[in-house]
Amino acid sequence: MPTQHDQAICIRHWDWSETSQTVGIFGRSLGCFRGLAKGARRERGRFSGGIDLLTRGEVGVILKRDGELSTLTEWDAQEIFPRLREDLHANRAGWYVADVLGRMLPLLDPHPDLFDRTMVLLRSLGSGMGIDASMLRFQWCLLEETGWQPDLQPPTDAGKEVAFDPLEGRLVVDGDREGPWKVRQATLQVLRAVAVGEAVEGELESTQRANRLLAAHLRHVLGDEPATMAWLFGTLPVAKGRPAARRGARMPRSDWAV
For residue 242, the model assigns a pLDDT of: 62
For residue 257, the model assigns a pLDDT of: 43
Give the model's confidence band at 111: pLDDT under 50 very low, under 70 low, under 90 confident, else very high: very high
Residue of higher predicted confidence among 120 and 45: 120
Could you give the CA distance from residue 200 to residue 126 in angstroms, rounded to a whole number?
Answer: 20
How does pLDDT run across 26-40, given as a tens digit for each residue? 999 999 999 988 876
For 43-107, the three-class secondary structure string (H helix, E strand, C coil) is CCCCCCCCCCCCCEEEEEEECCCCCCCEEEEEEEEEECCCHHHHCHHHHHHHHHHHHHHHHHCCE
Could you give the CA distance from residue 182 to residue 243 in angstroms, rounded to a whole number?
Answer: 17
Asked whether the predicted pLDDT for residue 240 surpasses 70, the reply is: no
Asked whether the predicted pLDDT for residue 256 surpasses 60, the reply is: no
Asked whether the predicted pLDDT for residue 174 surpasses 80, the reply is: no
Give the amino acid at 172.
Answer: V
Residue of higher predicted confidence among 47 and 89: 89
List the Cα angle 4/27/219 in 5-degree steps: 150
Note the helical H segments in the chain. 83-86, 88-104, 112-127, 131-145, 185-195, 204-222, 227-233
Domains of the chain: 4-80 (2.40.50.140), 89-233 (1.20.1440.120)
For residue 58, the model assigns a pLDDT of: 96
Asked if residue 99 lies in contact with residue 138, where contact means CB atoms within 8 angstroms, the answer is no
For residue 47, the model assigns a pLDDT of: 75
Give the model's confidence band at 255: pLDDT under 50 very low, under 70 low, under 90 confident, else very high: low
For residue 177, the model assigns a pLDDT of: 63
Residue of higher predicted confidence among 240 and 144: 144
For residue 45, the model assigns a pLDDT of: 64
* 188-197 per-residue burial string, b: 16 or more CB within 10 A, e: under 16: bbbbebbeee
What φ, ψ does residue 107 adopt, rounded to 5°?
Answer: -65, 140
Asked whether the predicted pLDDT for residue 230 surpasses 80, the reply is: yes
Beta bridge partners of 33: 25
For residue 248, the model assigns a pLDDT of: 60
What is the average pLDDT across 98-112? 96
Least confident of 46-50, 130-134, 246-250: 246-250
Nearest to 207 by CA among 197, 217, 194, 196: 194
E strand or H helix that includes residue 165 = strand 162-165
For residue 207, the model assigns a pLDDT of: 96
Asked whether the predicted pLDDT for residue 258 surpasses 60, the reply is: no
For residue 89, the model assigns a pLDDT of: 96
DSSP state of 249: P
Least confident of 17-26, 86-95, 99-108, 224-233: 17-26
Give the model's confidence band at 249: pLDDT under 50 very low, under 70 low, under 90 confident, else very high: low
